[in-house]
Structure 1
């Protein structure tokens, strides 16, 4: 099939989820055309990792700000609807595959007009995500109001032909909204067995030698649970004097300042290091330098129905993980034996898990190996992407 994907942001930088899906479908003999947002000075059309890109929507800063507010009040966007229609017609696509919720209604409108099936690819629980991504109470009462977005999600998903989600918990949520289970395909957010050529930077590894490194890699935001980890560090350091909390990421300056202040007030500022945002090719070096890797998310309707790619990256290189009790995280850790979990927002529980792993090197090694074995057996992209292929087999059979 000739599949027309729609993505409401830019590539590059890479979008790992989109690129994994595209590669799987390309390897199965499908064509992938991707409509995405462009920027001044970028090529309008480009071949990228086997995909044929069309940067069909370009907005300046003022237009983008206007667009954001008008769309969030109306859930309509003429520019994107026109771009999707032109894209679908010019590329002669057989199906529209829309990543995430915002422009789903415009894609459905185009799909119905052109007689094309529409696939909704939900990377996360978007209405709940808006409640944790933004802190402004005014915005959450108005343009990001949960009830408005939840109603939009339910209405538009009733009109699509198939839905892709990343965890079973997300499927259960949608079935609870009354959507048919047989239209929902679980395609987990796992990592590929082949991570390509990513050499380890010896300078980064040597920098942390002799420390007991607890590594978190990703964005900084309240729902990431990093405040709980920092509050636990005094208790951790009392038993593990060489413990170092290594936070690799950022892109949220106010929250980073808050975490720095919290670390100072907790008396453990010298045991917390924030590296700032790092190039993707450096990430594996920070993972290699770590003793334990963390996914300490705070629980909420968003984190309870999604799972980050990073837990599977950690497991792939035999790093024991400590995660919070968000259901998808806890399920993977209990099933794999690859680490420990603690009750979210419980610094004492987190500290106890870290101390237990520090005091038993054999347990750390065994959990790391168990996680890697589970990754190789059933938590890798090659093993879990079958739902995506079955979805398109069904659509192709239906169109014969």
Structure 2
């Protein structure tokens, strides 16, 4: 039995992009093997929705990952995955190797001669992401480690090197494809765009109940769902709240998700600075089955990303999930967000990193709420009846394995 082998340095099936790609291939008769690290209490192997999952190592922790990251940065080899793949090539007949994201590119390339084709799937502009991910880190040792081993210039060289070596490179948005062509003169024929669209069946999630009464119907709710980080732009939303509350006393900003201790402390310090403890609610993590219902219940869903070379070259899954929710959408002027929302008149756009413009847009939404509801219908039609869904997008990934 011949396999398509995907490798990812993350939890499976938690990684939404990897899961959708793997399951789509399996649904179309392909044998798919996903290789990922094994955390404490994880099964070493199992089959999930016809996808074979094999977890390597034992008790994979953040500390262990940090050590592997350092070694990988210097040698281009992730020792955990190198040993794991050597074992798996003895156990399985692997025809294709599909490597998820830049850090594993060097390790995967060592096995190029043993497969028919090797593909590199870039989830984001990794070198530029390194400039933003660690901005709020307080630990001096971690700061030193990141400056030495997670240096954006170093990783940009790796990006160019492996994009030229792999048979195909999968980009998450058109902007990323353009960036690779412009910066590195990558042959356009080897680049394919497979974006983070959502399956139409995601709408079934809106039927789930929420265990807690998070959003009060008497509040004008502004909701963010997702991870917290410097690049997410949550600081912009918080800084906008004093003016919003002045005009809309019942406005509440709900932050649903988690971030590192340093990130959450930075955001909470901002809330305290502006005396917003009653207007900004840190909800924390909520189960995935509840999140979509929360998206639907809120008055406004926000994606306030800062605009930079990282966020301009990737796109969040939640954009398309919110478009399915028939709830109003407010996004920043990041290129992919603005492009899609403007194309379908699917929401409103504010100037990224501009708290004043954010507040003005929210106040305008409140004052003209009913007339803006047409935008929610436009968004829903775009993802359900046009090509902004996974059913259409997945055809691109399938073509790689049926040519």
TM interval, short-chain normalised? over 0.9
Give secondary structure in 2 for the equivalent of 1:182. Answer: helix
Cα distance in 2, alignment partners of residues 340 and 60 from structure 1: 42
- C-alpha separation in 2, matches of 1:340 and 1:333: 7
Name the CA distance, whole Å, in 1 between partners of 2:274 and 2:64: 44
Deviation of 1:132 after TM superposition, in Å, equals 1.4
2: CA distance between counterparts of 1:206 and 1:151? 46
* CA–CA distance in structure 2, aligned partners of residues 104 and 202 of structure 1: 40
**Residue-by-residue CA offset, 1:80-111 (whole Å, 9 max, x unaligned):** 22322332342101100111111211211112
CA–CA distance in structure 1, aligned partners of residues 313 and 127 of structure 2: 12
CA distance in 2, matches of 1:343, 1:41: 45
Tell me if 1:384 matches 2:381.
no
- 2:37 is paired with a residue whose SS is strand
Q: What's 1:367 paired with?
A: 375
CA contact (8 A) 2:306 2:353 kept: yes
Which residue matches 1:188? 195
What SS does the corresponding residue of 1:362 show, helix, strand or coil?
coil
Match of 1:16 in 2: 16
Q: Is the 8 A contact 2:126 2:310 kept in 1?
A: yes
* 2:172 matches 1:166: yes
Does residue 358 in structure 1 map to residue 366 in structure 2? yes
In the aligned structure 1, how far is the partner of 2:32 from the partner of 2:153? 34
Structure 2: where are the runs of 5+ without partners? Answer: 138-142
Offset, 1:16: 1.1
Stretch deviating more after TM superposition (60-69 or 327-336) = 60-69
Runs of 4+ in 1 over 6 A off after TM superposition: none
RMSD value, Cα:
1.9
The answer as to whether partners of 2:56 and 2:80 remain within 8 angstroms in 1 is no
1:50-199 pair list within 5 angstroms: 50-58=50-58, 63-112=64-113, 114-135=114-135, 137-176=143-182, 177-195=184-202, 197-198=204-205, 199=207
1:65 CA displacement? 4.2
Moved more, 53-62 or 19-28: 53-62
Structure 2 residue matching 1:379: 3-state secondary structure: coil
How far does residue 59 in structure 1 lie from its aligned partner after superposition? 5.5
Equivalent residues of 1:312, 1:375 under 8 A apart: yes
Conservation of the 8 A alpha-carbon contact between 2:3 and 2:95: yes
- Alpha carbons of structure 1 residues 282 and 271: separation in structure 2 relative to 1, 3 Å: same
Name 2:140's counterpart in structure 1.
Answer: none
Equivalence map 1:272-287=2 (5 Å): 272-287=280-295
Change in Cα spacing, 1:196 to 1:344, as seen in structure 2 (3 Å) is closer
On the 8 A contact 1:219/1:252 being kept in 2, the answer is: no
How far, CA to CA, are the matches of 2:242 and 2:115 in structure 1? 61
The 3 A distance-change label for structure 1 pair 276 and 63 is closer
Relative to structure 1, is the Cα distance of residues 79 and 272 closer, same or farther in structure 2, using a 3 angstrom cutoff?
closer
| CA drift at 1:201 | 2.1
Which residue is 1:34 aligned to? 34
**How far does the alpha carbon of each residue in 1:326-381 deviate from its partner, in whole angstroms, 9 at most, with x for none?**
10000011011111111111111111111111111222311111111111122111
CA distance in 2, matches of 1:206, 1:40: 32
User: Separation in 2 of the partners of 1:178 and 1:160?
Assistant: 14
Note if contact 2:305-2:311 (Cα within 8 Å) is conserved in structure 1. Answer: yes
Q: Does 1:325 align with 2:333?
A: yes
Paired positions, count: 392
Deviation at 1:50, TM superposition (A): 1.2
